[in-house]
Amino acid sequence: MAMNAPRRNGGGLYQPLADINVTPLVDVMLVLLIVFMVTAPMLATGVKVNLPQAKKSAHPLKPTDPVTVTVSKEGKLFVNAEETPSALLVDTVRAKLANAPDAPIRLRGDKDAAYGEVISVLDLLSSQGLTRIALMSDARKSKEPAAEATAK
Protein backbone atom coordinates (compact mmCIF):
# COMPACT_ATOMS: atom_id res chain seq x y z
CA MET A 1 0.00 0.00 0.00
CA ALA A 2 2.84 2.42 0.74
CA MET A 3 4.42 1.59 -2.61
CA ASN A 4 1.43 2.74 -4.65
CA ALA A 5 1.06 6.02 -2.83
CA PRO A 6 1.89 9.11 -4.91
CA ARG A 7 5.22 10.75 -4.22
CA ARG A 8 5.03 14.17 -2.70
CA ASN A 9 8.01 16.40 -3.13
CA GLY A 10 7.53 20.06 -3.02
CA GLY A 11 4.55 21.61 -4.74
CA GLY A 12 3.54 18.97 -7.32
CA LEU A 13 1.19 16.11 -6.76
CA TYR A 14 3.12 13.61 -8.90
CA GLN A 15 6.81 13.44 -9.84
CA PRO A 16 7.95 11.86 -13.13
CA LEU A 17 9.57 8.46 -12.91
CA ALA A 18 13.05 8.77 -14.48
CA ASP A 19 13.90 5.11 -15.12
CA ILE A 20 15.21 3.99 -18.52
CA ASN A 21 13.50 1.01 -20.06
CA VAL A 22 16.39 -1.01 -21.51
CA THR A 23 14.32 -4.01 -22.65
CA PRO A 24 13.77 -2.70 -26.23
CA LEU A 25 17.46 -1.80 -26.47
CA VAL A 26 18.52 -5.31 -25.42
CA ASP A 27 16.05 -6.86 -27.87
CA VAL A 28 17.39 -4.84 -30.79
CA MET A 29 21.02 -5.58 -29.87
CA LEU A 30 20.35 -9.33 -29.66
CA VAL A 31 18.66 -9.31 -33.08
CA LEU A 32 21.61 -7.42 -34.58
CA LEU A 33 24.06 -9.84 -32.97
CA ILE A 34 22.26 -12.81 -34.49
CA VAL A 35 22.10 -11.15 -37.91
CA PHE A 36 25.84 -10.43 -37.88
CA MET A 37 26.67 -13.93 -36.65
CA VAL A 38 24.71 -15.42 -39.54
CA THR A 39 26.04 -13.10 -42.27
CA ALA A 40 29.73 -12.99 -41.24
CA PRO A 41 30.61 -16.46 -42.60
CA MET A 42 28.90 -15.59 -45.89
CA LEU A 43 31.18 -12.58 -46.42
CA ALA A 44 34.31 -14.73 -46.64
CA THR A 45 34.40 -15.72 -50.31
CA GLY A 46 36.95 -17.60 -52.31
CA VAL A 47 38.24 -21.08 -52.72
CA LYS A 48 40.30 -22.67 -50.00
CA VAL A 49 43.55 -23.95 -51.48
CA ASN A 50 46.43 -25.65 -49.76
CA LEU A 51 49.41 -23.98 -51.45
CA PRO A 52 52.68 -25.89 -51.79
CA GLN A 53 55.91 -24.49 -50.39
CA ALA A 54 58.40 -23.02 -52.87
CA LYS A 55 61.90 -24.42 -53.06
CA LYS A 56 64.78 -22.29 -51.93
CA SER A 57 66.10 -22.16 -55.50
CA ALA A 58 63.04 -20.27 -56.76
CA HIS A 59 63.73 -16.60 -57.41
CA PRO A 60 61.08 -13.93 -57.77
CA LEU A 61 60.73 -12.25 -61.15
CA LYS A 62 62.42 -8.89 -61.32
CA PRO A 63 60.06 -6.10 -62.21
CA THR A 64 60.50 -4.60 -65.66
CA ASP A 65 61.06 -0.92 -66.13
CA PRO A 66 58.11 0.89 -67.67
CA VAL A 67 58.41 2.25 -71.20
CA THR A 68 57.80 5.99 -71.21
CA VAL A 69 57.43 7.95 -74.44
CA THR A 70 57.86 11.69 -73.95
CA VAL A 71 57.02 14.53 -76.32
CA SER A 72 59.09 17.60 -75.43
CA LYS A 73 58.12 21.24 -75.86
CA GLU A 74 60.15 21.39 -79.07
CA GLY A 75 58.45 18.27 -80.46
CA LYS A 76 61.36 15.89 -79.85
CA LEU A 77 60.53 12.29 -78.93
CA PHE A 78 62.19 10.40 -76.09
CA VAL A 79 61.83 6.73 -75.18
CA ASN A 80 62.65 6.59 -71.46
CA ALA A 81 65.63 9.00 -71.49
CA GLU A 82 66.92 8.41 -75.03
CA GLU A 83 66.06 10.77 -77.85
CA THR A 84 64.50 8.82 -80.70
CA PRO A 85 63.53 9.95 -84.21
CA SER A 86 59.87 9.45 -85.05
CA ALA A 87 60.76 6.95 -87.80
CA LEU A 88 62.35 4.60 -85.22
CA LEU A 89 59.84 5.19 -82.42
CA VAL A 90 57.77 2.03 -82.92
CA ASP A 91 60.84 -0.20 -83.29
CA THR A 92 62.46 1.27 -80.17
CA VAL A 93 59.30 0.83 -78.12
CA ARG A 94 58.90 -2.77 -79.30
CA ALA A 95 62.53 -3.48 -78.40
CA LYS A 96 61.92 -2.12 -74.88
CA LEU A 97 58.76 -4.24 -74.59
CA ALA A 98 60.51 -7.46 -75.64
CA ASN A 99 60.67 -8.75 -72.04
CA ALA A 100 57.17 -7.66 -71.04
CA PRO A 101 54.85 -7.41 -74.07
CA ASP A 102 51.76 -6.76 -71.90
CA ALA A 103 53.31 -3.82 -70.05
CA PRO A 104 51.59 -0.49 -70.67
CA ILE A 105 53.35 2.30 -72.53
CA ARG A 106 53.33 5.60 -70.68
CA LEU A 107 52.86 8.61 -72.96
CA ARG A 108 53.53 12.02 -71.57
CA GLY A 109 53.70 15.38 -73.26
CA ASP A 110 55.12 18.67 -72.09
CA LYS A 111 52.53 21.21 -71.00
CA ASP A 112 53.68 23.57 -73.74
CA ALA A 113 53.93 20.88 -76.45
CA ALA A 114 51.44 21.02 -79.30
CA TYR A 115 48.45 18.84 -78.57
CA GLY A 116 48.49 17.53 -82.13
CA GLU A 117 52.02 16.17 -81.73
CA VAL A 118 51.03 14.14 -78.67
CA ILE A 119 47.97 12.80 -80.50
CA SER A 120 50.05 11.92 -83.57
CA VAL A 121 52.42 9.87 -81.38
CA LEU A 122 49.41 8.16 -79.77
CA ASP A 123 47.97 7.43 -83.22
CA LEU A 124 51.32 6.14 -84.52
CA LEU A 125 51.72 3.72 -81.62
CA SER A 126 48.13 2.47 -81.69
CA SER A 127 48.15 1.98 -85.48
CA GLN A 128 51.14 -0.34 -85.10
CA GLY A 129 49.32 -2.61 -82.62
CA LEU A 130 50.63 -1.06 -79.41
CA THR A 131 47.30 -0.40 -77.77
CA ARG A 132 48.16 -0.50 -74.06
CA ILE A 133 48.94 3.22 -73.78
CA ALA A 134 48.48 5.32 -70.66
CA LEU A 135 48.51 9.11 -70.77
CA MET A 136 50.43 10.65 -67.88
CA SER A 137 49.82 13.92 -66.09
CA ASP A 138 51.27 15.66 -63.09
CA ALA A 139 49.35 14.95 -59.89
CA ARG A 140 50.48 18.13 -58.16
CA LYS A 141 48.01 20.99 -58.15
CA SER A 142 49.30 24.02 -59.96
CA LYS A 143 48.32 27.57 -59.07
CA GLU A 144 49.06 28.88 -62.58
CA PRO A 145 45.68 28.00 -64.20
CA ALA A 146 43.81 29.65 -61.33
CA ALA A 147 45.90 32.79 -61.68
CA GLU A 148 45.32 32.83 -65.47
CA ALA A 149 41.56 32.40 -64.98
CA THR A 150 41.34 35.34 -62.59
CA ALA A 151 43.47 37.52 -64.87
CA LYS A 152 41.06 37.03 -67.82
* CATH number of the CATH domain containing 117: 3.30.420.270
pLDDT at 5: 57
Q: Average pLDDT, stretch 1-5?
A: 55
Task: Fill in the DSSP letter of residue 40.
Answer: H
Please check whether residue 72 lies inside any domain of the structure. Answer: yes
Does residue 75 surpass a pLDDT of 80? yes
Does residue 2 surpass a pLDDT of 70? no
Tell me which residue of 113, 115, 107 sits closest to 135, measured CA to CA. 107
Please check whether residue 120 lies inside any domain of the structure. Answer: yes
Please check whether residue 10 lies inside any domain of the structure. Answer: no
Confidence of residue 4 (pLDDT cuts 50, 70, 90): low
Total domains, the chain: 1
Distance CA 20, CA 71 (A): 72
Please check whether residue 88 lies inside any domain of the structure. Answer: yes
Integer CA distances (angstroms), 76 to 5, 12, 60, 95, 146, in order: 98, 93, 37, 19, 29
Question: Which residue range forms the structural domain that includes residue 102?
Answer: 67-135
Report the relative pairing of strands 105-109 and 133-135 from DSSP bridges: parallel
pLDDT at 135: 85
Distance CA 68, CA 121 (A): 12
pLDDT at 34: 96
pLDDT at 121: 92
Please check whether residue 36 lies inside any domain of the structure. Answer: no
Please check whether residue 90 lies inside any domain of the structure. Answer: yes
* Between 10 and 125, residue with greater pLDDT: 125
| % residues pLDDT > 70 (the chain) | 70
Task: State the Cα torsion 108-144-116-113 to the nearest 10°.
Answer: -60
Q: Average pLDDT, stretch 10-14?
A: 68
Specify the amino acid at residue 81.
A
Are the CB atoms for 65 and 71 separated by under 8 Å? no
Please check whether residue 145 lies inside any domain of the structure. Answer: no
Tell me which residue of 2, 138, 8 sits closest to 70, measured CA to CA. 138
Residues 79-115: tens digit of each pLDDT:
988 899 989 999 999 998 887 777 889 998 888 888 8
pLDDT at 89: 92
Please check whether residue 35 lies inside any domain of the structure. Answer: no
